[in-house]
Amino acid sequence: MACSAQSASLGENTSSDEESPEWILARQGINLLINNGYAESEALFCKFPNSLVMYAGYSFTVFMDALMSFEEEKLSKAIVVLKEVEKRCTAQTGWFKSISQKVFGSSIENAQTLADQLETQIILADSQVCLAIITFLQQDLSGYFKGGWVLRKAWKVYQRSYKDILTLYKEKVGALQLPDPIPTPLTPICDFNGPATEFDDESEADWDLPEPQFNGQSEVIDKKTIMRLMEAVSFGYGLFQLGVSLLPPSLTRLISFLGFAANRQNGISCLMYARLGVDMRAPLASLALLWYHTIVRPFYAIDGVKVQAGVDAATLLIKESQNEFGNSALFLFFAGRTSRLNSSIPSALDSFEKAKQNANHREIKILCLHEIGWCHLIELDYSNARNTFVRLKHASRWSMSFYIYLAAICIGAVQDFANFSIFAELRKSSRTSRAGQLDDFLRRRVHCCPKDLETAKSYTSFYFKLLVFEMLYLWNALASCSREKVDLILTECKNMISPSDEPRLGLANLILGSCHSIKGDLKLSAIYFRNCLSQRKNELATAEDAHISAFAQYELGHILTQSEETREEGKLLLEQMNRYSHYDFEARLNVRIHSILRHLE
């Protein structure tokens, strides 16, 4: 329902709402959204259809709803709302541009106008980032280019707004003290100085932002307003930098051409600052930080096998949000992720169950069920994992083949011959799946699976357990296993009876090396990774299972770079990784390699 239509049915605003500043009402609306009250949040925002601040809050609500549901209708609605935000913002900045010399006078009213202008710029940039994300989700080439140019425009506004607000902040409040980690000075990172293109003129006239002329008049701007604006711009400015810093190295040149760059530590520090504020973006900053610490860091193996590296930060964020968001499905979900990373699986399961019960979005419930299945997998509880993934294959709209595969290897691990028909289902689903990294991964795994029940009976339980271990390794979940489970995996891999028990050549050695690395025995770990590479020395670098060689070489190189005596050998191994191509999760591994090599420079 559109805001204008919905507001007509709500009647008169309550006097308390009318008396409250817009930014306070917007914060209340976002809090309702995060506390499982989507309908209530939308209703509050739609009481004020003519307020830019409240409409911006409404756009956040619609945007998050679209991302959670991924339904075409809701994605289209989000695009319409975000473009309306852009339209309102550019109309205001155009007006400001035409009379900028007149409005920055000495009156308090004029000073407030300056604050409104800066807030409008922040809202404009935020809307463009949201639009870019939805555009990227189109997953086609034109979508990536359009999204890139939208991000470029957003970055220019963020740079400008951050610089202007920081100037006011230093003049009125003092030096900006950001929380740890301490970043480099927060100045615009990269200006676009490349050649003009046909894109430069596309709606850029409306984007020309007037140059604020403070002329000492910032003294009459309320100190609290300046602080709130600093918190507001820090959210988008920080999230932008954090997100761009996670893009694969192959996109670095394109990013540079588009005119923006990123510093991950700057991004995190800005988000840490924004989360402490009173602005509506503060709880969103906390969610962004939880996403980074509990999902991004382990997914990209930013800390290697030390998946617990982000646990302390995530625990603090959750603890500080307990009073305000203790029953929020989103915060409970991240509490579960934190417990899972800390190998506290019973606690993780409890949090995911509570989040599933409290969630009012079907997709959040599915996400929690997904995590519950992985918790069982981490516990090597194949039966409960199988049951959960079977439920998910019926519930999921987008990842049915993925859950069929997970259920199938769990069924194989317990030799549940009565349900081996799932392998036929896997073959059928792989033929109809879309083109994509995960779909390519699954199509390759089908070749490792039995074609019929009679063939299946010739496979050992360990054969399928190795496929489970591979999943745990590739999803960086092996390090979340308890020491007892890691020892059990080591025992099973070392007791492999026949090479035919191995779905992919060298897989057992890759798992053995990783398990010893988790236990901190790097010398023994390096031996197993070398054994894996030796075992596969005659395999093509472009083979279907080349990911085993690639990951083994990466792991070995990473270990060797940690010792001064072997650093050069390790660096050489990492620099030679480009000999492998088109293997599973190549882009993700390249991010890790790029990070290590950059650190060694």
Average pLDDT (128-142) is 73
Which three-class secondary structure state does DSSP give residue 532?
Answer: helix
Q: Over 70: is that where the pLDDT of 219 sits?
A: no
List, for residues 386-405, the tens digit of each pLDDT value: 999 999 999 987 788 999 99
CA distance 381 to 572: 40
Model confidence at 499, in pLDDT bands (50, 70, 90)?
confident
List, for residues 42-91, the tens digit of each pLDDT value: 999 999 989 999 999 999 999 988 887 767 788 889 999 999 999 999 88
Average pLDDT, the chain: 84
**pLDDT value of position 95:** 44
List, for residues 448-483, the tens digit of each pLDDT value: 999 888 888 889 999 999 999 999 999 999 999 999
Ordered structural domains, the chain, with CATH: 484-600 (1.25.40)
List, for residues 400-437, the tens digit of each pLDDT value: 899 999 999 999 999 998 898 999 898 888 877 666 77
CA distance 206 to 471: 49
List, for residues 262-286, the tens digit of each pLDDT value: 788 889 999 999 999 999 999 999 9
**pLDDT value of position 595:** 82
CA distance 444 to 508: 18
**Percentage of the chain with pLDDT > 70?**
82
CA proximity to 30, closest of 67, 62, 73: 62
CA distance 499 to 595: 35
**pLDDT value of position 251:** 66
Least confident of 250-259, 345-354, 475-484: 250-259
Judge whether 13 and 47 are in contact, CB under 8 Å.
yes
**pLDDT value of position 214:** 55
Average pLDDT (106-131) is 78
Average pLDDT (23-37) is 95
CA distance 206 to 93: 8
List, for residues 162-198, the tens digit of each pLDDT value: 999 999 999 888 888 877 643 333 333 333 233 333 3
Q: What is the CA radius of gyration of the chain?
A: 26
**pLDDT value of position 96:** 44
Average pLDDT (315-319) is 94
CA 386 to chain CA centroid, nearest Å? 27
